[in-house]
Structure 1
């Protein structure tokens, strides 16, 4: 079994003496990994929007410097408590990982035991990170909608921000479960990709945004997964069918919600908040087991658009901030291919 060397390579966000944020690959000391009962040799991580925010001062996400970003990781236990023997394949995401606790952009990570999800049978580390935080958020969104009563055959389900990480996996999960999925995207070139994931129809972002003088519009959607927020979420609320729900997890379209009480008191609509950060670990482990079965999305083999090493992270983080990314970028951390 591997041991933890005194130093190893990590991608680090730090501040200089004049308070300027810098990003670089550097040697990182095992003694500086921070608290936790489980040390993991990281095989794979992924590039998420939150990682990009954590890499810039303007993102206001990082809560410590220096910081190793990477809000999700998968790899092999090097040292852990009973039940997590060396060699156990595991994943971790959420909580303070990559924000206030050193994350997955490092050859080694140390985390609390109650953040750890043992990889379910049938899921390897690369596939786990292909799903990643974005996929978990999508699966949680679908789970919450179905808890609220959504079922295949009840009508079209809208996914906004569908060409992003959460949206693309949501399309794939819903289509695999037999739903009629309508995908909304601001990237016309993503239409073929989304239909390949199972979308029955792809509509322009302009159709699902913009202000309206009407508090309610024609009932359209049996349910929705919203990854955008802002005006888009307001549109979804005023066009849900009676008794329908939207699972909301994003704010790339803005943090303000310009709506009224009418979708709730006249149509019985429900707004379901989706939080993958503090989701209890037992619920998290159960949902990951389902993602090897009934919540496994279509198109996992097409979700990954790029694979980079730690040294290739900086342009990927810039691209995701600029809105130029589609699908999932994986990070091959410890000599993976």
Structure 2
């Protein structure tokens, strides 16, 4: 079997993503072979085609940390030809060929059957939306309800931020969206944000206080750094922050005050190595009670052959929402 793939290669000028015909041996090990319908564009995929990006262990590789499609063969009884599935995380697109190809092969314990979602819906949600769902679930598990007060979402125009706003709004939370993009108010309001504010803290040079006036019951943060430190100081008693990113830096210049005087919880969110049973539970919820209501608003579409352009937009900070990359029929 021969098929088309977008393959990242090292070259003298950096990492180049090229359209290439490959054979079945290129798929690598795995129990489940998937005909890929869609993948998506993520910041991590952008790093995979960036020299010194630090995520890919060895080239050449097919990027695409999200895979959605139809099972064509399986050595595991859990899956049968025709099953619609999603696979993401683990080593996909990092050291194991990912979704930017007509076919993918992965271990069965990386695969989730879709319930209540199409393969395109699942690609629109993708790793970013799954991370958002994990973050929302973490706040719910903490005991936060919509009666507790507003939830802040930082990095609000990104993949995690937009889906988090959409899910929280569907659960009747008051949502405050924080973004540096002044032209995003209409979109963020449309998907459920009750208020849109700028980046935090408002004065980037201001000295951070150990405790600020309590403003939010909780937060979903994909920025980190000084922004996260400021947010922690302004969370109300018994609140929580689900943190999944560090675009604002990995340092956290905070004190123990929010934790010991207000009982605030800082919950780290990892999506790459979530155990498969938990992963399947969250995806089932994404097809039901945590289902985003505005995927068609958040989603953009591009053929996978245009992945380089989309990924550069994500890295430059000009991209908003989620881009589904069509694979089937696009080569």
For normalisation by structure 1, the TM-score amounts to 0.94
Once the two structures are TM-superposed, the CA of residue 58 in structure 1 deviates from its matched residue by 2.7
Shifted more, 82-91 versus 103-112: the winner is 82-91
Give the whole-Å Cα distance in 1 for the aligned partners of 2:291 and 2:97: 29
Q: For the aligned residues, what is the CA RMSD?
A: 1.5
- Counterpart mapping for 1:158-307 below 5 A: 158-207=152-201, 210=204, 211-305=206-300, 307=301
* Residue equivalent to 2:90: 95
Give the whole-Å Cα distance in 2 for the aligned partners of 1:296 and 1:209: 36
Match of 1:131 among 125, 132, 137: 125
* Residue equivalent to 1:46: 40
CA contact (8 A) 1:43 1:336 kept: no
Once the two structures are TM-superposed, the CA of residue 213 in structure 1 deviates from its matched residue by 3.9
CA contact (8 A) 1:220 1:239 kept: yes
Pairs aligned (count) = 329
Give the whole-Å Cα distance in 1 for the aligned partners of 2:203 and 2:107: 41
SS at match of 1:228: coil
CA 1:326/1:43 → structure 2, altered by over 3 Å: closer, same or farther? Answer: same
For normalisation by structure 2, the TM-score amounts to 0.96
Give the whole-Å Cα distance in 1 for the aligned partners of 2:247 and 2:286: 26
Deviation string, structure 1 residues 133-170 (Cα, Å, up to 9, x no partner)? 11111011010111111111111110000110000000
* Residue equivalent to 1:57: 51
Alignment gaps of 5+ in structure 1:
none
* Residue equivalent to 2:113: 118
Match of 1:67 among 61, 78, 84: 61
Once the two structures are TM-superposed, the CA of residue 206 in structure 1 deviates from its matched residue by 4.5
SS at match of 2:6: strand
* Residue equivalent to 1:21: 15
Extract structure 1 runs of 4+ deviating beyond 6 A.
none
CA 1:132/1:208 → structure 2, altered by over 3 Å: closer, same or farther? Answer: farther
- 1:9 matches 2:4: yes
Alignment gaps of 5+ in structure 2:
none
